Structure 1
Amino acid sequence: MYFGLLFHRIFLLSAGNIDNTFSIDPELGSISVSKPLDLQPQDQFHLTVKATDQGFPQRSDLCSIHISIRISEQTPPTFPSDEYLTEVSELAALGTPVVTVSASSPAAMHYGIESGNSNGTFYINPYTGLISTQKRLDFENSESYKLKVTASTSAGASSRTVVHIYVVDENDNAPVFQQGEYLGQISESAHVNSMVMGERNTPLVVQASDADRDSNSLLTYHILEPEALKVFKIDSSMGTISLISPVDFEAKAEYHFTVQVKDSGEPSLYAAEPAKVTVRVLDLNDCPPQFSTPVYEPSIIFPAVRDTEVVRVMAHDADSAVSYTISQGNLHNAFSIHPNTGIITVNNVSEFRPFYQLIVKASDGLYKDSAAIKVNVTNITASDLEFEQKVYSASVTENLKTVKTLAALKVTGCFFNEPLSYSIINPMGRFAVSQTSGVLETTGIPFDREEQDVYDVVVKVEDMRSPPRTATTQVKVFIDDVNDNSPQFLNLPFSMMISEDSEPGDVLYQATAIDRDLGENGSIMYSLEEDYDLFRIDPDVGDVSLKRPLDFEALNKYVLTVFAIDEGEPSHSTMAQLSVQVRNRTNPVFQTLLYPLKVPENVPPFTTILHVQARNPEGYRLVYNLEEENTSKDFHIDFKTGVLTFTNPLDYESETMHLLTVRATDAVTGAFSEASIEIEVEDVNDNAPVFSKPSYSVNIAEGLPINTSVIQVSASDRDSVKLKYPLERWQGY
């Protein structure tokens, strides 16, 4: 409203302007709203306006103005707070009320969740604003929700507030072991309170996890078996296992028990299955070996037979493997002893004596024990008990892996069905005899004729009389050959040069091969894969000869593939190449067709390594060159003199052999010849060894036997040298 006056006036609101809701223009008298009216509690205002002129004396007048507030339909609802905070248990049932939001509005309104309601976990009543659960809560999946809630009127006016819902963790998850089984170890020398160790020499830790939080996930471990609790204890919070009483490998080498875990929630939950724990006791060499008897008194018959089993000595060691040696009395190495089994056998029958006293030692690397072996050599007393034959013969095929009967040995000079006992004096692990029937068999271990082709087996028989009568016989077992070896060439591959003047029938070369088998299995036949209708080979002796005159103009180089085939069933063969180069009358002639060289890799570049020379029958100048295209960067040959040098350093580690072809060409006629150069690069120790690791660490138990392996270090060297590992410095603690 406006108050137009003839004279200049000043207007002001003198009363009724609560909270300065309105303002007035002092010159125009225009009243306007200065604050939102929807925030005001009253719906009517009674204002008093005072108008004052600028005359003298000043004159003023008052005017009352009544303003009524009418609510607009566009006014949005009003929330009493910008955000709500609340909690709800993760075990809350579906439909559990969480919080009620309310807004004020003169018009009808409805509520909705605008965002933050992942998977539709919550529901809001559109009329009352009550938020409740409509899906199961899980603290482990989602710890809190931030819902943006709207209140809207039918006219489209709306307001928003934020509701923070925090899910309260409940003890709804049982602990779960990270492994179902745990394996640890501890030395029998470990002191009380020593920890059981696991992989990589770190303490063994039985671990479990719990998806809950705080006290609900605080875990406590305990051992279930009372017997195990006498030896071990477990840290209730960490899960480490330690020793509470000494252990002894010889008494018990391994312990098995179970560990259970529970959380600290209310009520406590346990793992579905306890964890299985195995603790192995590491043996300490604290027990010396001990022979079963201090003196052994075996006897063997004369004449002594090589490989005869004399006696088997045995020493018991509760915690270590035992190694046997003969330390004294073994003149001329008459006997040998197997270091692991303790079996003593006859080794050398020359200068054999009638009596030996051996001292055998058993050692576990730290402790030793000894025993005396008194070997008596006795002659067989002549009697009418004897084998039907003094010598039997039998045969067996080499490589046979099944048992084969060799002979049925019969004796005379005994009653019908009189009990007899048969034994083999030198079985060598390959032969066995039936103790009652005298049937001699192999044991199924395959023979190799090329290694040994005949075995002399001595069989003894005894009766049950007192004193017993004894007889022996010899069985010569021959090993039959099998075609299990292929022929091998002795002088191929080979390169040669022949003149074009060679005549038919001339023997150019003799190929020679051998076969380790016998008879037809070792008989070799020679043949050519391709003879070019020009060459032939004698199938029996391997002579390569001409069938007809050579034609240099047609072809001047031939590569013959020579086959050597044995006559066994099935046959075996091998092949190799013979290179034949035909030389024309006018062709240059090299000193040799093959120049083999050995050059150290550290020879300086441009050093002369070969002087190739060829003779030209025509007398013209020769030009030398290397045929291979890619050799020019590494090698150079002087085209006038034939001096060969190398331009780049040689490196054995990159390439050990270089093959070159040198050609000598007549500068006038163009006739040429070729020769091969084989350059073998010799290794020089120009690379230092490199360890696979810069440092090694290992923990060992005290009391280990001497020579016990502790750790293996490895290094590599690009040179072809054998590495040695001296211990340069030892630092003890």
Structure 2
Amino acid sequence: MTMGQRKLVPGKARGYVVGFMVVFCMWSAASAQLRYSVSEEVNAGTAVGNIAKDLGLDKNTLKDRKYRIVSSDAEPLFNVNPNDGFLYVNRIVDREKVCAQSSACLINLKTVLENPLEVHYVRVEVLDVNDHAPSFQENETTLEISESVMPGARIQLKAARDPDSGPFSVQQYTLSQNDHFRLEIKDKGDDGKIPILIVQKSLDRETAKNHSLIITAVDGGKRPKSGNMHILINVLDTNDNAPIFSEDDYTVMLKENSPIGTTVIMVNATDLDDGPNGELTYSISNSVNQNLLNLFEINSATGEIFVKELIDFEEKDKYEIEIQAMDKGVAPLTTEKSVIIKIVDVNDNAPEIEVTSFSSSIPEDAKPGTTVALISVHDLDSGLNGKVICSLSEDVPFSLLPSLQEKMFSLVTKSHLDREKYSYYNMKIVAKDEGDHPLSSEKTISVVVSDVNDNRPEFLMSPYTFYITENNNPGDSVFSVKASDQDENENAHISYLIKRDGSEERTASFLNINSETGDIVVMKSFDFESLKTFQFQVVATDSG
């Protein structure tokens, strides 16, 4: 689906002309956004969409203009056929590997169409297919439940995991038919759906010492896949009070990059029982994923949660940990409580500057507003810490203009250039964020100002006066003229000729000039009594 399209509109510029015509074609950058989708596991070479067609380009355009991908969110999963503009799969895409941390698998591609430059942003959504079955961490688990447990008691089980996402992940659990237990499902968001075993009928150890159950996890595919775990329940005697946490909700703010060992929060629970049945230990619930176990740890005796590894806000801004308080009874009772940890961003990432397109040379007659380079800036921080201001550190006839695309800037001319005054510019681009302790980075761009034929040749003297002795020899060189031109190369290469029109034509016919050196040669012998003075015009022309 095409999100938006824009076509390049060629600009126009005129050069200063002396005796000839030069046309300069300038360009301006445009951008477009396209969006496609493709299922994972499709074969390499599968077409995703025709970018050229969606942009309104024909094959003749592609012959003269190079189209390519310049950057991507991921390693090269896609490529563009430069001949027909088709975007195709470069290799088989495994969505679970490419987008392991994201529910929506969106691959952002930045493409350019050159001569003139166009920037297009293409987003490809990799659609999930149901290629994994749910599985439990263990094939069998054993629970010990006191016979004094009242109906309604809740035991959280280990959740099944399914690498697929969305509707293809675990959607429901079922429990084998029995008289004493039922299932309830708790939706934990990023942690998926958690099965909770609920006692619905009192247990009697003397009637049945154990119970055998099968829990089945089922995903949401059209042909659903499933996985089983065997639950063995041993019924024990009597510890009839579960721990109770002192707070209904635990929420805490934690700065990213807090030192290892920093205390996050201390939870507290009590148990009305006496002796070992009222003594508590704290732990992180086994339903929590391994990533959380790597980041946080809890003191089993005090309930103090502390940082185990450095926390990065840019990876995740909130964590929810299930904390478990368990007594030391023969048949221990447990209570779980959620602790929400909100990560506070600090300004720990400097902006990054990327020059996505650059014209290293620009003609001196370029109009103000001519694009020289496209600049993108990135800052991994958020809020003001991630808001970047881009500027030029020197007073130059260029300026940075923000683009419609967020964090994109165009380096453009802001006034007319004059190569004869400045033939090149070294510009330092500074990107600075707006955090409390701002971070910045710099990049230097060098631009050469190319010459155009905007200066006329000028004679060293005007008029020239010289003398010839009568009875001179024909073919003698009698004088030399000289002109200069402030331009360079061909624009400054001067040739000379004698103007032969009007009343001076007869006299000028007696003279000849070397077009390269300006040396004037007389073609006859002059007689003072017949001709005492004469004048003529020499024309100097550059080769622009």
Please report the TM-score for the alignment, with normalisation by the length of structure 1.
0.31
Query: Taking CA–CA contacts closer than 8 Å with sequence separation of 6 or more, which of the two structures ends up with the larger relative contact order?
Result: 2
Please report the TM-score for the alignment, with normalisation by the length of structure 2.
0.40
CA radius of gyration, larger in: 1
